[in-house]
Amino acid sequence: MKYAVVTFGCRVNQADSIGLERQLRALGGRPVPAADADLVVVNTCSVTATADHGARQAIRRIARTNPTARIVATGCYATRAAADVAALPGVTAVVDNADKAQLAVCLGLEPESTTAQRFGGGDGACGDTIRPGTAGRTGYTLRVQTGCDETCAYCIIPSTRGQGRSVPLDRLSAELDDVASAGFNEVAVTGVHLGSYGRDLRPRQTLGALLDLLDSHASGLTYRISSLEPMDCGPSVVDLVARSGRFVPHLHLPLQHASDRVLRAMRRPYTSDYYRRLVSDIRRRLPDAAIGSDIIVGFPGETEEDAEKNCQYLRSSPLTYLHVFPYSDRPGTDATRLSGKLPGPVIRERGRTIREVGASLAGQFRASQVGKVRAGLTIEDGSVVVTDNYLKVRVPSGAPDNQRVDVLITGADETVTGTVVGFASASV
């Protein structure tokens, strides 16, 4: 069986796609481009209307270029609008997020008892079939949790992924053993609501217990903490990143908006002042850290004053990059019922303004790193180094992928350039 997995959206979806790859490879599948595959699994996202549109376009394109392929849709869009997705050309099955870990069973490729034993319900170790480069990822994405119990007014994810569910620590430890044995050097730790890790487990666990497990794991793995809600990034997390040596100096902390009035309407459980103090402390403790954020523009009721507050804070903030999301209604969320919806051109203009701010912040950060030596990992046949503080540095080719290196940053215009000045040993 020749297969392809096409992934949209967040790192949680990327981690899920590694699990899908694991299932299909264990059944004898061979990965090929979607145009040549017998089976194409499209792992969709539904965080915005644009994400829905992208998934539809991809499915139509696959059906057009490979009309004999069996197209299977899964992920958040396929879960939220199963009938709409099933009606797209070429789609032969829609698999709900809740059944994604048993996709092979849902497609009749393997008996349930065998699949459950082999894949551990979708949260087991990576196994011999997964190596650096699988699903186009040099690093390994470790999903420790899925689902969310928060009630942000704009977010559809709790209804597409359900309540928060954590992977027990012993299973994560076993997965890390296999990840290291498979040759990975870096792990991105991810979850839908990462900070809620362990609240559903018995006995109850915490994010701190998870991070301690990672820090003490008997390997040379290093870790990149994925998106972490601001209220979950306490002093102990910052302390661990600052002192451990195993957690890279990179934190992604979604602000969503710098106006307290908008934050309340969004039902975000912190204030703009709390966020300011948090990221200022991180910058003080970790002067060269990458600090990223998500921003929603054009939320219902956002006034010119709110938009200006947002822009003013971001311009002066220590953030190093922004992911900007123009607000779009998600059917089933409370925000769809709010008054004060803004016209599309206003939302797009505010988005353009904040993207320009983000580009300026990113440029300032790149320039501040010129002349510094940073640790990193080679990707793209050794022609690019992703530094610990999340810069992609173009270097002369010469090292293989997945090689730990030290890189001197020599230039930082639109493309960051550098020279490899040292090599480190692998994790195994």
Domains of the chain and CATH, by start: 252-368 (3.30.750.200), 370-423 (2.40.50.140)
Q: Which amino acid is at 57?
A: Q
135: which DSSP letter?
G
The partner residues of 385 in beta bridges, in order of sequence, read 378, 393
Q: Output the average pLDDT for the chain.
A: 92
pLDDT at 115 over 70: no
CA–CA gap between residue 112 and residue 330 (Å, rounded) = 34
Six-digit token string for 309: 């507050």
Per-residue pLDDT for 79 more than 80?
yes
For residue 108, the SS3 value is coil
Cα gap 245→167, rounded to integer Å: 25
Amino acid at 290: A
Other CB atoms closer than 10 Å to residue 323's CB: what's the count?
14
pLDDT recorded at residue 129: 62
- Per the CB < 8 A criterion, the answer to whether 22 and 130 are in contact is yes
What is the pLDDT confidence band of residue 323, given thresholds at 50, 70 and 90?
Answer: very high
Closest CA to 184 of 128, 246, 139: 139
pLDDT tier for residue 117 given thresholds of 50, 70 and 90: very low
Is 251 a residue whose pLDDT tops 70?
yes
Tell me if residue 77 falls in helix, strand or coil.
helix
Per-residue pLDDT for 12 more than 50?
Answer: yes
In this predicted structure, what is the pLDDT of residue 414?
82
Q: What CA–CA distances, in Å, run from 109 to 29, 293, 298, 328, 382?
A: 11, 41, 45, 38, 37
pLDDT (tens digit, 9 = 90+) per residue, 332-373?
Answer: 899 999 999 999 999 999 999 999 999 999 999 999 999 999
Start-to-end C-alpha separation, the chain: 32
**Which of 11-15, 108-112, 330-334 shows the lowest per-residue confidence on average (mean pLDDT)?**
108-112
Q: How does residue 135 score in pLDDT terms, banded at 50, 70 and 90?
A: low
pLDDT in tens, 137-189: 899 999 999 999 999 999 999 999 999 999 999 999 999 999 999 999 999 99
Q: Are strands 373-379 and 404-412 parallel, antiparallel or unpaired?
A: antiparallel
Rounded average pLDDT over 25-53: 92
Supply the pLDDT for residue 398.
Answer: 78
User: What pLDDT was estimated at residue 388?
Assistant: 97
CB 98 within 8 A of CB 82: no
- Within 182-294, residue ranges assigned H as helices are 207-216, 235-244, 260-266, 272-285
Residue 384: strand pairing partners: 379, 394
Q: Residue 212 and residue 204: Cα distance in Å, rounded?
A: 15
pLDDT value for 214: 97
What CA–CA distance (Å, rounded) separates 251 from 289? Answer: 8
Strand segments (E) across 118-163: 140-146
Task: Read off the pLDDT band of 130 (50, 70, 90).
Answer: confident
| Cα Rg of the chain (Å, integer) | 22
Distance CA 422, CA 428 (A): 18
In three-state secondary structure terms, 39 is strand
119 pLDDT above the threshold of 70: no
In contact, 267 and 306? CB cutoff 8 Å = no
Q: What is the pLDDT of residue 120?
A: 36
pLDDT band for 26, please (50, 70, 90 cuts): confident
**What is the arithmetic mean of pLDDT over 39-63?**
95
Residue 122 has pLDDT above 50, yes or no: no
Percent of the chain's residues with pLDDT above 70: 94
pLDDT of residue 427: 45
CA distance 331 to 354: 26
- Report, as an integer, the average pLDDT of 308-326: 98
Q: What is the pLDDT of residues 200-241, one digit of tens each?
A: 999 999 999 999 999 999 999 999 999 999 999 999 999 999
Can you list the positions of beta strands (E) in 148-215?
165-166, 186-191
Quote the distance between the C-alpha of residue 11 and its chain's center. Answer: 2
